[in-house]
Structure 1
Amino acid sequence: MAKVSRPEVAAAFMRPPAGVLLGRLVQEGALSRAEAEIARELPISEDICVEADSAGHTDGRSAYALMPAMLSLRDEEMARHGYAKPIRAGASGGLGAPEAVAAAFVLGAEFVITGSVNQCSPEAGTSDAVKEMLAGLDVQDTAYAPAGDMFELGAKVQVARKGTLFPARANKLYQLYRRYGSLEEIDEATRRMIEEKYFGRSFDEVWAETRDYLAERKAYELERAEQNPKHRMALIFRWYFVHSIRLAMRGAPGQEVDYQVHCGPAMGAFNRFVAGTDLADWRNRHVDVIAERLMRGAADLLDARFRAMLATPAK
């Protein structure tokens, strides 16, 4: 399955693998010649999940615009390559209420995938402190922040905003990275604020930890950082993004302001949907129960709407 939010990326997954790639796989023994011949008539992915505005890495796309475009692209690629089996297209992003799930199916989705709402469940691997935070969110309680793994590129992730200062602090670090060429150019007051309030340790301490990690796993990255002060600054700032995820995962008490929690507005929508029910408490939100409530709610909603439409005389 390929999870995509851009048509040009989706198109690559809907097409057969390149002949050069297949040839190399045959040479490496990863595929037989017969398997490679079959692969020439198959898409790289037979399931495409169209990702609208979502938690974590997101292009912030509207499902209402994105889904029709992707379905049209799917039909074009199906006709062009003459696949015997249809490419299935599903939807994700923003699915926290039965109305949203119903809308996805009306738009043409053949399956749906939830994300944010599953993080607020007993099965989720994050801390109870994060689950309590998520259970208290409304639809407006998210924000966009720089992505730690693509910090220099300015890529964004969507995170929880209520109860944490992470989005504001992460954006501040990115502004400083864009403005300055090295840590030494940052004024003393700003430097002290970051070290004391954001990091809880000095830049030198962060660099020592980062340097040890790179020396063991990415020596080439360490060499680049020692030659390029701006890259060294980026690596030190990126440490905060890893640190903030670790704090959230273990539910570090007293450090909630630095929790990085990937989350989209679907969480707030789900909290409103289950308010006053047995699922108001996240401890009852088992993932299978969440799926059943959303799907059953969407089915009931669609049934009622279509019945109402059929009962209304056409004008």
Structure 2
Amino acid sequence: MSAIYKTIVSGCLEFGNQRSYDQVLNLFQHRTENYYRNDILIDAEEAFQESSFTLNLPRFIKESSEKSWKNTLNLLNYIAEYAIAGDVRMWVIHERKLILDETIEPVGDKSVIKAFMKGRELVKETGMEEEAMKALNRAIDKFERHGKAYERRGYVNFKLRNFDDAMYDFTKSVDIHPNNPEAYWGRANVKIIKKDLRGAIEDLEMARKTSIPHQPIFWSARRLRGELHLQLGEFQQAIFELKMVTNRPFTETDPNYKWQKNALYNYGKALFEVGEFGEAVKAFNKMFDFDVERKEAPPKADQFLNRGLARQKAGETGYMSDIKEAAGLGSEKAAELLEALV
């Protein structure tokens, strides 16, 4: 019996004009029939969109043989050579283990591709924001539907604190490619700056829905949703999100690893607010066991104070030492509590 694989595919490839689109569609159909004997996971009639000259693949999940997903991957890589923008992500899971995480995207000497690639690399370099902006502007000027370029330019504008421009770019990216989680994530962060927490929560949910648990952004979106629910006093929703995140064993190379202290702190606060004091203590204890510090972490005084309050409510010993520690670290609230307790 042959092995069964779970294959997830999502994305969009842009071909830019009728001639290129027709050429790619013919090549796709020819190779599907003659090279792969129709053993692929994509239905051409559903995937090819003549109105936008695209191969559009809203996320789908299929069980397949190894041959089927490899045929599909090879065919996507082949037609990507004719695209000018976009990308397609493919994940293959076997026996609950991720065995393939592939990004298929245009490569080559076309000016729009080179401009985008240059801009995308410059975005990663500190102090090169203006140069990155110029390159991404060139990509957009050459192809107005370049959703990935809008998303990356949105990130640059966010770094430069051009929040209105960032909002425009992320929204434009979402409008072009509504299955791109990075654009929703970026727009959510702009909405947080603009105090639109409800709107941010909605975008973070879309970031989660358009990603999969094997992607860091899936968990980043859940963590930030939990924090926003906490800020809004929606404690049960916060607990739901943050429990999922804090129970996830991230590797040290995962960007979510460094945020676990924050997630545990906020999880403990949410549990405290609904009267689950013992569980709150457990969350705070786990927070202290997590020794990675970052500038965004809650102040040490607040960490000790909140655990002390939870210990007190839970009837546990040690709460006085926590409150004293918080007072020693400068917490005025802890100092006031000490006066009342002594």
Q: TM-score range by the shorter chain?
A: under 0.3
TM-score, scaled to structure 2: 0.22
TM-score, scaled to structure 1: 0.23
